[in-house]
Amino acid sequence: MDKKLLLKSHFHFIGIGGIGMSALAIGLLKKGCSVSGSDLVKNNETNKLEKLGAVIFTSQVRQNIEFVTSKFTNRLINFVVSSAIKPENEEFSYCKEKNLSIKHRSEILAMLMRTYTALAIAGSHGKTSTSTFLSTILELCTRNSSSITGGIIPIYNSNCHLENTKYLVAEVDESDGTINKYKSDIGIINNIDFDHCDHFSNLSEVISSFKSFAKNSKKLLLNFDCETSRKNFYSNCKWSNSTAKNVAYAIIPTEINSKYTIGKYYENGNFISNLNIPIPGLHNLSNITAAIAASRMIGVDFKEIKKNLKYLKLPKKRFEFRGQIDERNLYDDYAHHPNEIKETIKLGRLFIEQKNNNEFQKNRLVALFQPHRYSRVKQFNKEFAEELSKADVIYVTSIYGAGEGNEDKITSKIITDLIYKKNKNVSYINNYYEVSKNFYELTQKGDLILNMGAGDCHNFWSILNEKNN
């Protein structure tokens, strides 16, 4: 779609409040389009969109579509959906009934990417963090970069920063198979894991999906430390945190603690510099290495990159410190896959180890987990139990279904029963209101509480504050 046609267009988003859909809506508003959208609940994203001029509906009924088609008669109207929108959704079904123009969210992002030198971040884990680190580096080093991501980037305090720039950092989603829509100048694959069992049957199908993404990337940047990527993809541009040999970019860590990471940076096997990075965790170091590598691939001066590393911050909901209540520290993390939980608990341990100098009172790592999707729990219940059992105390809530049916009657009990075989300090708690109600009985002073999941679990801090006030 050319610029003139874009300015004559109106976009209505069915489910506009989601972190990915709202980013696209903001981007289109900044491009001069008119935008409307619906969601059942208002949130920070819908409030932001209203301030930018979007029309927001808090229902999803056919009357919304009738209003849009009658109000914007002088514009080319497109109705935008994500794969989360079910066929029986009243707005969606009415659009199909009336043969209106329906676009998948991937088509909108692909359209926007075509107008930039696009750096697309893909992978099973760490996409939002890598996008955040790359966006920060390019913003500070080039002042010529835009971003559309699935998380809130601290430097912009937004999930979308779309301007008339040369570069665009775009987080691309593999969960529904639409990753083949994206064409990029540099395609980055963080890692590949079996997930999204509602769409993929096995790892081979996931790999096949990423291969279509790789084929559409002019240059491909791969994680050498991911065995699946290493065995199934080829590129001259690889990064590593375990070796400086046979890779283009490497940061070999020499110290990782709860405050920072120190490492030696290499290019093509040659030592370049020591780096002090203000982000802890080996998984975060991998994401930062990818961001540095992508920046170097487009010619950003290394000295500029090194100078600006001190400004790197994690995106929201990625080991995000939410506050302290009566000497209990609460962190939020988006971890919802066993491997993500593994890395998040490992990172939490760094904080616990630093504090455990008092032999009479050992601080505990308390895992509070809301499982996300019945299909994921069914597929990975053993892996969830294995990783969660490594916390000192574990509380598991009911499953956040994310619109899935539950024909197999899957419950969180399948996880808690397996955890109990490894760690007796596990309990099922129905919801976050119950956790809040019994907060002081469930926790103790000195606890580091890791609240993990991809559903509505991140409202816990608000629920807890309401109770305490």
Domains and CATH numbers, the chain: 3-104 (3.40.50.720), 116-311 (3.40.1190.10), 320-468 (3.90.190.20)
| pTM across the whole model | 0.92
pLDDT by residue for the chain (469 residues), tens only, comes to: 666 677 789 999 999 999 999 999 999 999 999 999 999 989 999 999 999 999 999 999 999 999 999 999 989 999 999 999 999 999 999 999 999 999 999 999 999 999 999 999 999 999 999 999 999 999 999 999 999 999 999 999 999 999 999 999 999 999 888 999 999 999 999 999 988 888 888 999 999 999 999 999 999 999 999 999 999 999 999 999 999 999 999 999 999 998 999 999 999 999 999 999 999 999 999 999 999 999 999 999 999 999 999 999 999 999 999 999 999 999 999 999 999 999 999 999 998 876 555 554 579 999 999 999 999 999 999 999 999 999 999 999 999 998 888 999 999 999 999 999 999 999 999 999 999 999 999 999 999 999 999 999 988 988 888 777 6
What is the full DSSP assignment across 41-60?
Answer: S--HHHHHHHHTT-EEESS-
CB 159 within 8 A of CB 49: no
pLDDT at 239: 99
In angstroms, the CA 168 to CA 145 distance is: 6
What is the DSSP secondary-structure string of 56-96?
EESS--HHHHHHHHHHTTTSEEEEEE-TTS-TT-HHHHHHH
What is the spatial distance between Cα 163 and Cα 186, in angstroms, rounded to a whole number?
A: 19
**pLDDT at 355 (0 to 100):** 59
pLDDT value, residue 360: 47
In angstroms, rounded to a whole number, what is the distance separating the alpha carbons of residues 398 and 373?
A: 10
Specify the amino acid at residue 244: A
Closest CA to 415 of 436, 386, 393, 439: 386
Q: Which helix (H) or strand (E) holds 399?
A: none
Rounded to whole angstroms, how far apart are CA atoms 345 and 365?
Answer: 8
Distance CA 110, CA 123 (A): 17
DSSP 8-state code for residue 173: -
Contact 334, 341 (CB under 8 A): no
pLDDT at 1: 62
